[in-house]
Amino acid sequence: MSKRPPFVRVASVSEIPEGTVKHVVVHDKPMALCRVEERFYAVNAVCPHMGGPLASGKLQGCIIACPWHGWTYDVRTGQPDHPGGHSVSAYEVRVEGDDVLVGWLQRPVTQTP
């Protein structure tokens, strides 16, 4: 069984004001670290459409829009905010004191009937 990579400190809480996005790199992966309603979320920073920089996109509530073509994703899950769209990977985030840490991929949420 492979060992999960450790959580990595990427910022302090005070570095990321409410409603903003910061580009971070964790385990060689570019991520968009977002602060929404005092919670932190991390998603892959590369839009699957044409490689646009999601970390430079506009954040409205929990939805981030790619600045190149406007594709949108829910930063809580990485899922598109509309049916049939592509998703981006979402990563575990935790706060310890003033440190924001990003870890491994979130496990997909399974829906029950």
Centre a 10 Å sphere on the Cβ of residue 77 and count the other Cβ atoms it contains: 17
What's the CATH class of domain 8-105? mainly beta
> pTM of the full predicted structure?
0.89
- Report the pLDDT value the prediction gives residue 5, as an integer from 0 to 100: 65
**Domain edges within the chain:** 8-105
pLDDT (tens digit, 9 = 90+) per residue, 20-71?
999 999 989 999 999 999 999 999 999 998 999 999 999 999 999 999 999 9
Lateral strand order in the sheet of 8-12: 8-12, 99-105, 90-96, 39-44, 29-36, 21-26
